[in-house]
Amino acid sequence: MKTARFSDSHATSTRGGIDWRDLAACRDRPDDFDLDVIRDNRARISAAVDSCRRCPVAHQCGDLTQRLVADRKAPKDLVQAGVIWSVEGKPAKRIRAGRPAREAAT
């Protein structure tokens, strides 16, 4: 998978000996969040975003994602922290079947 989501050095926080990443709803399901895989299936994209909304570590993931963006290492071409990220690493407003995610208007 192309994401730096869980390999970034910022993401090493543990609490009580448990790494929050072990509790992620996307753990062991990287393809379900990878736009290379789900791009042509709106239901799967919506399901990925919904998974993030229900994720028990959404707050930690959101913090990490904000740091990645600040460090110019934004997620690309995937769903992360409830956001669809374009191939350029920008929040995407929508995607069209067979095409990379379109960036949201700024």
Q: Is the dihedral of CA 14, 69, 90, 100 positive or negative?
A: negative
Q: Which two tokens stand for residue 30?
A: 């990287």
Q: How far is the CB of 38 from ligand SF4 (least distance, A)?
A: 13
User: Where does this chain bind ligand SF4 (CB under 6 A)?
Assistant: 24-26, 51-52, 55, 57-58, 61, 80-82
Q: Which is nearer to ligand SF4, 65 or 105 (CB)?
A: 65
Whole-angstrom Cα Rg for the chain: 13
Q: Which is nearer to ligand SF4, 68 or 105 (CB)?
A: 68
Q: How far is the CB of 31 from ligand SF4 (least distance, A)?
A: 13
Q: How far is the CB of 57 from ligand SF4 (least distance, A)?
A: 5
Q: Which is nearer to ligand SF4, 63 or 98 (CB)?
A: 63
Q: How far is the CB of 88 from ligand SF4 (least distance, A)?
A: 19
Q: How many other C-beta atoms are found inside a 10 Å radius of the C-beta of residue 104?
A: 13
Residues 95, 39: Cα–Cα separation, whole Å: 7
Residues 92, 83: Cα–Cα separation, whole Å: 7
